[in-house]
A and B are shown apart, each in its own frame.
Chain A
Amino acid sequence: MSAPGPPSGAGDAVPLDGQVAVVTGAGQGVGAGIASALAGAGAAVVIATRRAANGEPAAESIRAAGREAAFVRCDVTQASDVEATVAVAVERFGGLDIMVHNAVAHAGRPGGVHLSGSHRIRPQIATGTTASFLCARASLPHLRRRPGTLILLTSPAGVEGSANLPVYATVKATQRGIVKSLAREWGPHGVRVNAIAPVARTPAMDAAVAANPDLETRLVARTPLGRLGDAAIDIGPVAVFLASDGARYITGQTIVADGGGFLGL
């Protein structure tokens, strides 16, 4: 089943007009979908990725649509890179309203935690947990001025666990802990902190499906809406909403955008 088109009138709405966003891991997949949606809603977007090979085209596609975007090479595990990325947003576009941390490390071959590659543990922690801290710390001075919002990308696995991706699930759970505590810590500043737990087609999922053709069938079978999400039109608008004034009283929450597959919250 193909994904439906955008809601009627959505293309005309610019709820984030004049705002500035940074999206990590926005060269492809969910990050690119979120960046595209934020730009479509009026925000100037900084595409922060390690590789120019996908980061620059992602920024160019936004500019080609008549919106503002810039690419910044950024390794989210390095504090200096994250701080430099925020600085580019502030210097080039005048501030920072929306910080989205989406980048994720490769989890390696599926399997129990005792079977997974020892060398893949710390990179996953660094890209998920440490980078969430770095993105939060670097963005806070600017988010307080607007006040703005921080959005972390987690996963249903970060709630229910995962038999085959246990380190990934652990890292995604840490991000939910960060969201809840930062929401309490930053609420007095007016800065909101939320998470999105998506399930969507991404290059990583496409690769997993190619290696295991039954995977997509099983995922769709557990999804009441009967299809996998589309990063741009199913997940991106969730980020737009969380960044918008319509979500001004929402903080500390995880929005599960997975077609109804996980109903455990």
Chain B
Amino acid sequence: MEHGPGRRAHGPSGAGWEVSREVLVVGGGGPAAAIAAGLCGNVRLVAPDAHEVDDGFVDRAGPRGAGPTDGLDLVVHALYPEQSRIPKPIDEMTDGDWAAACDDPLEAGIRVARGAHRHLAARRGTIVFCVPLVGAAGAASFVALSALAEGLRVLARSLARSWGSDGIRAHAVTLHPSMFLAPEHAAAATEATALHDPALGRPPSASEVAAVIDTLAGDATAGLTGASVVMDGGAWMAG
């Protein structure tokens, strides 16, 4: 599935980005579309099935005709299949349930990163993984989603370490579970995570998340990489 590019020329705090800023959002089944709508630049949203993501996926999904000299300024990953967002105790999960909920999207995330490298290196860009807080905090009946989220959160740190010398920055933005789950599951996840109520009284909006991602990809944070920014309205506050 593909959505047409959005074009917003302005950035946070008067960053003044040009519309030539190329952004790829890989995601579905969560806040990806809403976040993509709030990002600045020429934003392309793709929502593949996890099985469709191979090492050439970014080449095909990026700007048309993309090559090493075209590249990408920002890649945002938020690909969470439906199977990962449905609560299920581990003893009720089949092998296929686990693969669909965790292993397949985890491999897809790694392959998005592999394919993104040359495009990001060409523009000294940034990759951001949006992950649900269930991974860092733990949540009963969301074990597969927790494994997926923690894996991607630490993948961002590994990328930051190995790609810093290429001028590429990598971050994770850890979001309130309710942003990834259907309303009927969100309350269960919050309870299963034993989260406090958000200090701000609400989780962040997708546009607020987009603004933080834009900031993480901007010049004002050029000295920042490997960050794990928790955006949950002040519910967890544990790291």
Contacts and interface: CB of A to CB of B under 8 A. Distances in A.
Do A and B form a real pair? yes
Interface of A: 79, 111-114, 118, 121-122, 125-126, 129-130, 132-134, 136-137, 140-141, 157-167, 169-185, 252
Contact of A133 (B110, B140, B144, B159): B144
A158 B155 CA distance: 9
A165 to B, nearest CB: 8
Contacts of A113: 110, 113-114, 117, 155, 158-159, 162
A250 B147 CA distance: 20
Contact of B154 (A161, A180, A183, A252): A161
Contacts of A79: 95
A178 B157 CA distance: 19
Interface of B: 55, 89-91, 93, 95, 98-99, 102-103, 106-107, 110-111, 113-114, 117-118, 134-144, 146-163, 192-194, 226
Contacts of B160: 161
Contacts of A132: 147
Given A114-B114, A170-B110, A170-B154, A129 B161 contact: no
A174 B143 contact: no
A167 B110 contact: yes
Contacts of A183: 138
Q: Which of B114, B141, B142, B152 is the most central at the interface, judged by chain A CB atoms within 10 Å of its CB?
A: B114
Contacts of B150: 158, 173-174, 176-177, 180
Contact of B148 (A118, A169, A172, A174): A174
B90 A170 contact: no
A160 B106 CA distance: 18
Contact of B106 (A114, A125, A182): A125
Contact of B151 (A118, A122, A129, A134): A129
A170 B98 contact: no
B103 A125 contact: yes
A181 B143 contact: yes
Nearest to B161: A163
Contacts of B154: 157-161, 169-170, 172-173
B157 A174 contact: no
B95 A182 contact: no
Contacts of B143: 133, 136, 177-178, 181-182, 185
Contacts of A177: 134-136, 138, 143, 146-151
Contacts of A111: 162
B90 A184 contact: no
A24 B226 CA distance: 33
Q: Which of A118, A137, A159 is the most central at the interface, judged by chain B CB atoms within 10 Å of its CB?
A: A137
Contacts of B162: 111-113, 163-164, 166
A179 B137 CA distance: 10
A158 B159 CA distance: 13
Given A112-B117, A121-B107, A175 B192 contact: no
Q: Which of A132, A172, A180 is the most central at the interface, judged by chain B CB atoms within 10 Å of its CB?
A: A180
Contacts of B155: 113, 161, 166, 169-170, 173
Contacts of A134: 95
Contacts of B99: 130
Contact of B138 (A162, A165, A252): A252
Nearest to A126: B103
A232 B157 CA distance: 31
Nearest to A114: B117
Given A166-B159, A169-B158, A185-B143, A137 B90 contact: yes
B107 A171 contact: no
A175 B148 CA distance: 9
B98 A133 contact: yes
Contacts of A140: 90-91
